[in-house]
């Protein structure tokens, strides 16, 4: 039986992204523990990149294997890229709102 280990890694990394994000959110709600979220965030970023790269490699490997692992590879890419886009959008919005509040405070508004 043929296997596509890269697709399996992509799916595992995608699931890890979701689980770690939920853990980070819950940790952020607990006083005196919320600073530990800073330790989880780099791991989530690495899992995002791993899901995307392994997903692309898994898709390339699925062709010669007759489509074995195509689904898990796609799921890994979607979760990794989707989460990464949401993080970048959130950071952009946060910087925009923070910058606007800084400017309005300096203008006395």
What is the four-CA torsion angle of 76, 78, 79, 85, rounded to 10 degrees?
140
Alpha-carbon separation of residue 107 from 10, 94, 99, 100 (angstroms): 49, 20, 12, 11
Question: What mean pLDDT, rounded, does the chain reach?
Answer: 93
Would you say residue 109 has pLDDT above 80?
A: no
Q: Can you tell me the mean pLDDT for 11-29?
A: 95
- pLDDT value of position 106: 84
Would you say residue 31 has pLDDT above 80?
A: yes
Q: What is the pTM of this model?
A: 0.86
Would you say residue 14 has pLDDT above 90?
A: yes
């Amino acid at each position: 039986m043929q296997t596509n280990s890269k697709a399996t890694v992509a799916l595992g990394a995608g699931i890890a992204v979701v689980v770690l994000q939920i853990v980070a959110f819950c940790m952020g709600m607990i006083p005196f523990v919320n600073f530990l979220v800073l330790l989880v965030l780099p791991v989530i970023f690495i899992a995002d990149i791993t899901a995307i790269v392994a997903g692309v490699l898994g898709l390339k490997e699925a062709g010669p294997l007759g489509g074995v692992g195509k689904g898990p590879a796609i799921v890994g890419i979607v979760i990794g890229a989707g989460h990464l886009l949401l993080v970048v959008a959130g950071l952009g919005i946060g910087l925009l709102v923070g910058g606007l509040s800084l400017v309005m405070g300096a203008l006395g508004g």
